[in-house]
Homo-oligomer: A and B are copies of this chain.
Amino acid sequence: MKSISVRIAGRPRRYTVRVERGLLDHVGARLRRDAGLLPGTPVALVTDRNVGRLYGARVERSLRRAGGAVRRYTLAPGEPSKDLAVATRLFEAWARDGLGKNAIVVALGGGVVSDVAGFAASAFGRGLSWVAVPTTLLAQADASIGGKTGVNLKAGKNLVGAFHHPRAVYADPEALRTLPARSMRAGLAEVVKMGVVRDPSILVRLTSLARRGLALDPRAVAPLVHACAVSKAWFVSRDERDKGIRRALNFGHTVGHALEASEGYRAFHHGEAVAVGMVAELRLSVLELGLDPIAAVHVEALLKALGLPTSLKRRVKPSFWRAVLRDKKRGRAGVRVVLCPAIGKAKVIALPSLTQLERVVGSLVRGR
C-alpha cells in the first residue's frame, strides 16, 4: 500500500507511515531509507513481554542486519506500565547503557509501549528520535500516528507527556493475527469512529466485511488500517496540538471516557467504551444537529455486527456525571462534546445544559 506522509505545519521534517504485510521483517531496511539509520547507530528496542516473545527476535534481527547496535528493553504488558516510574527506569537503563543523542528508540507493541517509550524518547537527552512499530489494531489505525505520548499519574490518565512525533510508523497487519479477538474488536471501534468523522467509505467497506464474516481477518482489514492512517494523518497535519479540528477524533470519547472512569478501566476495553459512547453521541447528534436518524441507526447496527457493545445493562453511576463535568472545567461554555452533523463530518459543540445528554445516556440502558 502507498506510504503516507505526515507533515506538521511549521516543521521542516515529514515522516512516513507505512502499512504493509511482512513489514516486521524489514524495519531495519526501511529505517535506513526513511530515517538514515547508519551502521553502528545505537537502537533501543522497547517492547512488552508478550509482544517481545512473539515478534522481538524478528524485529531485532532486521535492525541488526541494517547495522543497528540493538539493545532490548522489556516492559510488563498492560496499562500499569504506562507509568512515570516505568519511564524513569527506562531513563536509568539508557543512561547506564550510555545511549547518546544519536540513538533511535524503536517502540514495538500497542499503545502502552509507544506511549511510554515515545515519552521517554522525548525527554532523554532532551529528545531522541523514535519509531513506532504498532502491533494492535488500535495503535495501527489511530494511536501511533500524531505524536501524542505520555504516562498516567495516580491522579489521572495521560497527565504527563509530550508531543513528540516518530520519525516513521511501520504497521504490519500480519501482527494482528496474534491479537485477541476482543482487542481486535475494540480497535474496530476506532476504525468506525474514523469513518463517522471523516471517511464514510470506511463504514461502507467495514459493513461489507462484517456481512462476509471477515471483520476480524487481518488481511481483509489491512486496507482499512491504511485508510484510517490516511485520515489520522489528515487531522494531525492540520492541527498538531489538538486545539481545533483534531478534536473530531474525540467523537464517542466524552461518554466513553466517563464510562471508563466510572465503571473502572477493567470493565471496558477503551474501544468498547468508545462504541457505547458513539451510540450516545450519534443520538445526541440527531437531537442537536439534525443528523439523519437512519445514518445513526446504520452505524449502531455496524457496531453490533462487529460484536461491540451498544447499550448498558444498568443506569450509569453518579460518578459518570462527575467525570463528564470534570471535562467541563476545561471548557468555558459548558461540557464540550464532538457531534456529527452528517456522516463524514464532525463539530465541537458546547452543551448549554446536560438535559439532552442525560436523555441519550438514559436511552443506552437496555430495555428502556
**Interface residues, chain A, with chain B CB atoms under 8 Å away:** 10-12, 84, 88, 91-92, 95-96, 98, 100-102, 119, 122-127, 148, 150, 153-156, 158-163, 329-330
Which residue of chain B is the closest to A159 with respect to CB atoms? B95
The answer to whether B162 touches A123 (Cβ under 8 A) is: yes
- A selection of 12 A-B contacts at a CB cut-off of 8 Å is A91-B159, A92-B155, A95-B156, A96-B155, A124-B159, A124-B160, A125-B160, A125-B161, A126-B148, A126-B158, A127-B162, A162-B162
The answer to whether A95 touches B153 (Cβ under 8 A) is: yes
Given contacts A84-B91, A92-B153, A92-B154, contact A161 B123 (CB under 8 A): yes
The answer for the CA separation of A204 and B160 in the assembled complex, in Å, is 47
**Residue from the list B96, B148, B155, B161 in contact with A95, Cβ < 8 A:** B155
What is the distance, in angstroms, from A7's C-beta to the closest C-beta of chain B? 13
What is the distance, in angstroms, from A158's C-beta to the closest C-beta of chain B? 8
* B residues near A160, Cβ cutoff 8 Å: 91, 123-125
What is the distance, in angstroms, from A299's C-beta to the closest C-beta of chain B? 30
The answer to whether A91 touches B126 (Cβ under 8 A) is: no
Copies of this chain per assembly = 2
Given contacts A91-B160, A124-B159, A162-B162, contact A101 B330 (CB under 8 A): yes
The answer for the CA separation of A158 and B119 in the assembled complex, in Å, is 16
The answer for the CA separation of A127 and B92 in the assembled complex, in Å, is 23
The answer to whether B100 touches A162 (Cβ under 8 A) is: no
Query: Chain A: interface secondary structure?
Result: mixed
The answer to whether A126 touches B95 (Cβ under 8 A) is: no
What is the distance, in angstroms, from A193's C-beta to the closest C-beta of chain B? 21
The answer to whether B88 touches A84 (Cβ under 8 A) is: yes
* B residues near A125, Cβ cutoff 8 Å: 159-161
4 smallest CB-CB distances across A and B, nearest first, come from A95-B155, A126-B161, A123-B160, A95-B153
The answer for the CA separation of A126 and B158 in the assembled complex, in Å, is 8
* B residues near A123, Cβ cutoff 8 Å: 119, 123, 160-162
Which residue of chain B is the closest to A99 with respect to CB atoms? B159
What is the distance, in angstroms, from A289's C-beta to the closest C-beta of chain B? 26
The answer to whether B150 touches A126 (Cβ under 8 A) is: yes
Given contacts A123-B162, A127-B163, A159-B124, contact A330 B91 (CB under 8 A): no
Known contacts A91-B153, A96-B155, A125-B159; 5 additional CB pairs below 8 A are A101-B330, A122-B162, A123-B162, A125-B161, A126-B163
The answer to whether B329 touches A98 (Cβ under 8 A) is: yes
What is the distance, in angstroms, from A83's C-beta to the closest C-beta of chain B? 11
The answer for the CA separation of A158 and B330 in the assembled complex, in Å, is 33
What is the distance, in angstroms, from A98's C-beta to the closest C-beta of chain B? 7
* B residues near A122, Cβ cutoff 8 Å: 162
The answer for the CA separation of A262 and B119 in the assembled complex, in Å, is 32
The answer for the CA separation of A252 and B156 in the assembled complex, in Å, is 45
What is the distance, in angstroms, from A178's C-beta to the closest C-beta of chain B? 31
* B residues near A95, Cβ cutoff 8 Å: 153-156, 159
* B residues near A124, Cβ cutoff 8 Å: 159-160
* B residues near A126, Cβ cutoff 8 Å: 148, 150, 158, 161-163
* B residues near A159, Cβ cutoff 8 Å: 91, 95, 124-125
The answer for the CA separation of A98 and B153 in the assembled complex, in Å, is 13
